[in-house]
């Protein structure tokens, strides 16, 4: 039996068919805007997208175990609703799995995207065989997924691991979540976008609406390019971002004592030196017992980790 994994991102959505840990096949990438065409009726448009995919790839629905979907949002496990999905308002307050499942007549499991990345890396990637780990993905925002005692940990209400919204500076920048000084505002594509006018100069960023640039990455990418080209302000901004991330990870490892931290996402792959900055920060600041056997490494499955996790979630749920 196969599963279908879908990873709905703020800008891009990927879909693939998976077969018990094998390489995802019939892999497709589409703009999320194309997927969520009918505003106000995301369930219908995702259903249409899915049926079209199955038809084009000649996948028989009867050979499927279920569908796993990752979303860039917090979920409420009590109501199965997607809550707080600022990047894709069409999904907000939507019980996507509950509504989509009877339409397609298959189990549909929906989970936070970085939770699925953690599940994918734990089942088939860098975290295989490691029972306590955290995945931290630095993209537009700062996401986290936890595997504790060998299982995905989602908390009492499904909303655990909101690491990006742990408070880093109580007098600091206002975050998209409404709180002040969340770590996401100090290490993410969003924070680099906000810093871009200062780093690159006003002429590079003139006419850009910084708020609208958050999901588009153009300014964060420019800062990374400037750092690689030797711009000292940009290099400082990148290394300082990862130093801040290292401090926040120090707090996380002191609380949870994981064996492994897996870093990933566009900001991490864009600035490979960041891994070393995080390692040095944690290794000089975390409690000795916590850091001695701790490994901090890079994601192995890259942008397919969420798809592996989506398939794994379906298997875990339907095999029960
Ligand atoms: Zn926040």
Decide which of 234 and 217 is more confident: 234
Q: What is the mean pLDDT of residues 148-177?
A: 96
**Residues whose CB is less than 8 angstroms from the CB of residue 178 and which lie 6 or more positions away in sequence, other chains included:** none
**pLDDT exceeds cutoff 70 at 279:** yes
> Helix or strand or coil: residue 27?
strand
Indicate if the pLDDT at residue 292 is higher than 90.
Answer: yes
Q: What would the mean pLDDT of 159-181 be, rounded to a whole number?
A: 95
Q: Ligand 1 centre from 172 Cα, in Å? A: 11
DSSP letters for 54-93? HHHTT--GGGEEEEEEEESSEEETTTTEEE--TT-GGGTT
Q: pLDDT tier at 217 (50, 70, 90 boundaries)?
A: confident
Q: How far is the CA of 121 from the centre of ligand 1 (A)?
A: 25
Name the DSSP class of 271.
-
pLDDT tier for residue 278 given thresholds of 50, 70 and 90? very high
Domains and CATH numbers, the chain: 2-118+303-318 (3.30.420.40), 130-299 (3.30.420.40)
Rounded distance from Cα 183 to ligand 1 centre (Å)? 7
Q: Residue 214's pLDDT is what?
A: 62
Q: How far is the CA of 30 from the centre of ligand 1 (A)?
A: 28
The sign of the dihedral angle between the CA atoms of 134, 137, 142, 143 is negative
> What's the 194 CA to ligand 1 centre distance in angstroms?
15
Taking residues 239-268, report their average pLDDT: 98
Q: What is the dihedral of CA 242, 248, 254, 257, to 10 degrees?
A: -60
- Digit-coded pLDDT (tens) for 86-144: 778 889 899 999 999 999 999 999 999 999 999 999 999 999 999 999 999 999 899 99
* Ligand 1 geometric centre to CA of 51 (Å): 36
Tell me: pLDDT of 160 over 90.
yes
Q: What pLDDT band is residue 8 in, cutting at 50, 70 and 90?
A: very high
Query: Would you place residue 164 in the very low, low, confident or very high pLDDT band (cuts 50, 70, 90)?
Result: very high
Beta bridge mates, 15: 6, 28
Query: In the predicted model, what is the mean pLDDT of the chain?
Result: 93
CA 42 to ligand 1 center in whole angstroms: 26
The CB-based long-range contact list for 42-45 (8 Å cut-off, 24+ gap) reads: 42/90, 42/91, 42/94, 42/96, 43/94, 43/96, 43/99, 43/100, 43/103
Confidence of residue 10 (pLDDT cuts 50, 70, 90): confident
The set of residues, in sequence order, having a beta carbon less than 8 Å from that of 230 and lying 6+ positions away, is: none
Ligand 1 centre to CA of 184 (Å) is 6
CA of 35 to the centre of ligand 1 (A): 27
For the chain, count helices (H), then strands (E): 13, 12
CA–CA dist 119, 147 (Å, integer): 7
Beta bridge partners of 180: 174
CA of 185 to the centre of ligand 1 (A): 8
């Amino acid at each position: 039996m196969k599963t279908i994994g879908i990873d709905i991102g703020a800008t891009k959505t990927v879909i693939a068919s998976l077969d018990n840990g094998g390489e995802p096949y019939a892999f497709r990438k589409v703009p999320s805007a194309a997927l969520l065409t009918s505003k106000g009726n995301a369930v219908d448009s995702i259903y249409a997208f899915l049926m079209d995919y199955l038809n084009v790839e000649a996948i028989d629905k009867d050979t499927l175990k279920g569908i796993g979907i990752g979303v860039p949002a917090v979920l409420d496990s009590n109501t199965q609703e997607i809550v707080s999905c600022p990047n894709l308002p069409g999904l907000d307050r939507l019980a996507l799995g509950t509504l989509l499942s009877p339409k397609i007549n298959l189990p549909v499991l929906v989970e936070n995207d970085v939770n699925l990345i953690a599940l994918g890396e734990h089942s088939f990637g860098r975290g295989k065989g490691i029972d306590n780990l955290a995945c931290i993905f630095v993209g537009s925002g700062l996401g986290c997924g936890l595997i504790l005692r060998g299982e995905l940990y989602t908390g009492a209400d499904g909303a655990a691991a909101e690491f990006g919204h742990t408070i880093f500076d109580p007098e600091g920048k206002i975050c998209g979540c409404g709180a002040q000084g969340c770590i996401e505002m100090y290490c993410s594509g969003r924070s680099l976008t906000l810093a871009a006018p200062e780093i690159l100069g006003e002429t590079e960023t003139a006419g850009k609406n910084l708020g609208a640039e958050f999901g588009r990455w153009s300014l964060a990418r420019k800062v990374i390019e400037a750092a690689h080209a030797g711009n000292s302000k940009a290099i400082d901004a990148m290394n300082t971002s990862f130093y801040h991330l290292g401090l926040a990870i120090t707090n996380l490892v002191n609380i949870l004592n994981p064996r492994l931290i897996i870093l990933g996402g566009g900001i991490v792959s864009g600035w490979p030196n960041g891994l070393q900055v995080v390692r040095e920060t944690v290794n000089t600041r975390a409690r000795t017992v916590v850091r001695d056997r701790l490994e901090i490494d890079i994601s192995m499955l890259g942008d397919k980790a969420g798809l592996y996790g989506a398939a794994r979630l379906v298997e875990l749920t339907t095999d029960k």
